[in-house]
Amino acid sequence: MEKWETRWNENKLRWHKDAIDPLLIKHLGKLHEKDKDDPISTSPKKFFVPLCGKTLDIAYILSLGYHVFAVEGVRKAVDTLNTENNFGLEFHEQDSIFKTLDGKLQIYLGDLFTCPFEKWAPFDYVWDKGSLTAIDEESRQKYKISMQKSVQIPGSNDYHNFKYLLRTVIYDKSKSEGMGPKCVSETDMNDLYGDWTNITLLESVKLPEGHILRRNINIGSVCHENIYLLSPKSINE
Ligand SMILES: C[S@@+](CC[C@H](N)C(=O)[O-])C[C@H]1O[C@@H](n2cnc3c(N)ncnc32)[C@H](O)[C@@H]1O
């Protein structure tokens, strides 16, 4: 977490965008499709936003009437998110949780890998942008376990009927200098999600030369951003 603390303290936030993610806006409707199959549910759906930073996507998701549970390891990030959005978050030390008065937004302050998900899970939807791609390759199996816990019914190995939007970046690692977001190849996708989710590639966008993300990765060769929709694999699949 130290390297992230340093980035926040030095205000080196090259990943941050002062805009709502256009791919979230475009594909959020894919999550509603599930609600058509579930007309009896009237309680607000809960979104999980791992490694949230100060993303504007949270305010957008809240504005649509969803509840949001996020995780962030750096306090300065949550304080900045709070100030910039006027969320009025209050910190509850006992659970290491920031909460709005109405309880619609909760942010766990701490390491994703040790978050006690059983207290709040399962979530209906996941918005994973700049989260998996921020994780070092050696920690990816731990990441998988955390993401599974976030959608698992506590006390069982069963998954809730979740939908998970995942934004990744894919490029030739041998041509990059190891900076910026980590490449998530098709093989990585299968290793991380293949045994517990159905993976649908919704869109693959080729990034033009000079694109900020390509500059962050420092890569001259082809680079795509992919957006996937994941849903639980049923036992018979
Ligand atoms: C690349 S940034 C992305 C932030 C946000 N998703 C966005 O797209 O703007 C990753 C964020 O995750 C936080 N972070 C990194 N590793 C973490 C961990 N293991 N647990 C909790 N937070 C972590 C960092 O402090 C940083 O704010």
Which helix (DSSP H) or strand (DSSP E) does residue 98 occupy? strand 97-99
Ligand 1 atom nearest to CA at 51? 12
Ligand 1 atom nearest to CA at 55? 9
Decide which of 79 and 234 is more confident: 79
Q: 2-10+19-36+44-168+183-201+227-232 in CATH: which number?
A: 3.40.50.150
Ligand 1 atom nearest to CA at 112? 20
Identify which of 2, 3, 4 to mutate to test ligand 1's pocket (most ligand atoms within 8 A of the CB): 4
Nearest CA to ligand 1 atom 21: 73
> Residues 76-112: pLDDT tens digits?
999 999 999 999 999 999 999 999 999 999 999 999 9
Q: Distance between CA 15 and CA 134 in Å, rounded?
A: 10
Strands 90-92, 105-109: parallel, antiparallel or unpaired by DSSP? unpaired
- Whether residue 212 has pLDDT greater than 70: yes
- Decide whether any atom of ligand 1 lies within 6 Å of the 230 Cβ: no
> Residues 41-79: pLDDT tens digits?
568 899 999 999 999 999 999 999 999 999 999 999 999
Nearest CA to ligand 1 atom 13: 51
Q: Distance between CA 149 and CA 158 in Å, rounded?
A: 10
- Sketch the domain layout of the chain as residue ranges: 2-10+19-36+44-168+183-201+227-232
Cα–ligand 1 centroid distance for 231 (angstroms): 23
3-state secondary structure of 236: coil
User: Comparing C-alpha atoms, which of 36, 102, 104, 99 is closest to residue 64?
Assistant: 104
- Decide whether any atom of ligand 1 lies within 6 Å of the 166 Cβ: no
Q: Which residues of 27-64 are buried (b: 16+ CB within 10 A; e: fewer)?
A: bbebbeebeeeeeeeeeebbbbbbbbbbbbbbbbbbee
How many helices (H) and strands (E) are present in the chain, helices listed first?
Answer: 8, 9
- Decide whether any atom of ligand 1 lies within 6 Å of the 167 Cβ: no
User: Quick count: other Cβ atoms within 10 Å of Cβ 170?
Assistant: 18
- Decide whether any atom of ligand 1 lies within 6 Å of the 184 Cβ: no
Cα–ligand 1 centroid distance for 135 (angstroms): 9
- Whether residue 193 has pLDDT greater than 60: yes
Alpha-carbon distances of 58 from 14, 54, 65, 155, 166, rounded to whole Å: 18, 8, 11, 29, 15
Average pLDDT, the chain: 91
CB–CB of 170/185 below 8 Å? yes
